[in-house]
Homo-oligomer: A and B are copies of this chain.
């Protein structure tokens, strides 16, 4: 495979051996201070502060000019007033610098005068084949280089996403939110006025980085849309590209011109460009991250037929509405499934899609429903609602076993003490079939405590669940450790609040493992929702529950859109 030039050209940007910060300063009131500080505390390569006055910057030997630095300099980060950037660039050419990040602002975004200065900088840089990020940007991050070349320290971590953003603040928000959701980046570039390296150049480069699984773009204005189409199309064939592009209103178009100094262009043109290139368009940072995580955690659906399972009717109503508004098919329940559910659920169940057991207390039946549906060839995906409500239900149960009520459970505790002690030794033995058997009998036991029905017809279900809970992924996760902790509390022979909490913490990975098992087995999306706004995190096992039907159905619709494009 012959890689295009851009792959080589951007290597010094993403994997520099040495970096100079031009405009580094000891003055805390300047960006040159926080920029140098950000790199100093993280970047492992050679780092040089450049400052015309001071001998040392934050304890490091400083140099008056980049040409005074003894060793080679791959990358410069520039934080000097805009009128000095051209001179700095001349020095960089003389020094043989390979790439630059121009944080300095006051270029194209302020009008003609700034645009002239910007053109001059680019002209000089071209003489030395220096590729430039910015100007008027917030900086960049590369996981491969452990390089947080930002204008201030930002919390970021390595991961499968890449983000190219014409807005530093939107980019920063996306990074912060992704980190809060438990997911990181291979590259993040705030590209500002995007004077030299174009968005499609970054995308082309990212197409060749196998550690990047999903590419996100915040675009204010493109240079040449034909070039974008040509280069990005080659990438969307390999991995999803998601874009956010404001500019549907006059108010935003005006704001764009004074912000990144780019021409917003017609919204219709962008819609057509994105459709042609298979770029998935989103409208908020939350939506962009939702869709990115959907691509990371779900298989692509074969069609748009969806069935909803819900532990609550009104959730089902909201989800059916959201799916239909997204253009998904809320299909009729296949007849076989209808018959199966007639024998599983109380008479009052919904008898349709959404599948709602209508307050059935036998929760195991609800957890059996998805496989019945995934097994139907006409079902392309399911939305499984109430991921978090199982924690809710377990807290109801837990609230019944707090210390005040312990005496009601005296016999239970006595029975369970021996079980718990044995469980600990089984876990410690590391014997996989033994642990699987233990989990199975633990599930039957726990279920028996809560359920009105017998467990005899659930044998197969518990087998499957025990297998899902002892997959490689689960054995490497914290689940087994948390399970052991739970048994340790139980072995002490007393129910208390901690036990309640421990039960709640065990429920989520159990549901997560089940969902993972279904996805693997049927290769169909199983999107889940929690019902509360509390921020979801991607689990150790790789599952992400969405907070509501609207967001879940939107993600499914985008998976369908990309799948149809391919």
Contact = CB atoms under 8 A, between A and B. Distances in A.
A2 interface: no
Given A358-B105, A396-B34, A396-B153, A170 B314 contact: yes
Interface stretch (A118-126, A196-204, A228-236, A315-323): A315-323
A350 B256 CA distance: 10
B314 A165 contact: yes
A169 B313 contact: yes
Interface string A167-186: 11111110011001100000
Copies of this protein chain in the complex:
2
Interface stretch (A421-429, A430-438, A445-453): A445-453
A464 interface: no
A285 interface: yes
A475 to B, nearest CB: 32
Given A325-B249, A452-B30, A533-B535, A37 B314 contact: no
A35 to B, nearest CB: 11
Contacts of A33: 400
Contacts of A533: 177, 180-181, 285-286, 535
A251 interface: yes
A424 B170 CA distance: 40
Contact of A361 (B30, B258, B330, B548): B30
Contact of A110 (B171, B347, B400, B550): B347
Contacts of A218: 314
A294 interface: no
A28 interface: yes
B347 A106 contact: yes
A29 interface: yes
A64 interface: no
A525 interface: no
A320 B173 contact: no
11 contacts: A29-B361, A109-B348, A168-B312, A172-B531, A220-B317, A252-B320, A254-B352, A255-B316, A258-B352, A258-B356, A285-B533
Interface of A: 27-31, 33-34, 37, 105-106, 109-110, 114, 151-153, 165-173, 176-177, 180-181, 218, 220, 246-252, 254-256, 258-260, 283-286, 310-318, 320-321, 323-325, 330, 347-348, 350-352, 354, 356, 358-359, 361, 389, 393, 396-397, 399-400, 449-452, 531-535, 547-548, 550
Given A152-B393, A251-B330, 7 more contacts: A105-B348, A166-B314, A169-B314, A220-B314, A255-B350, A259-B316, A284-B318
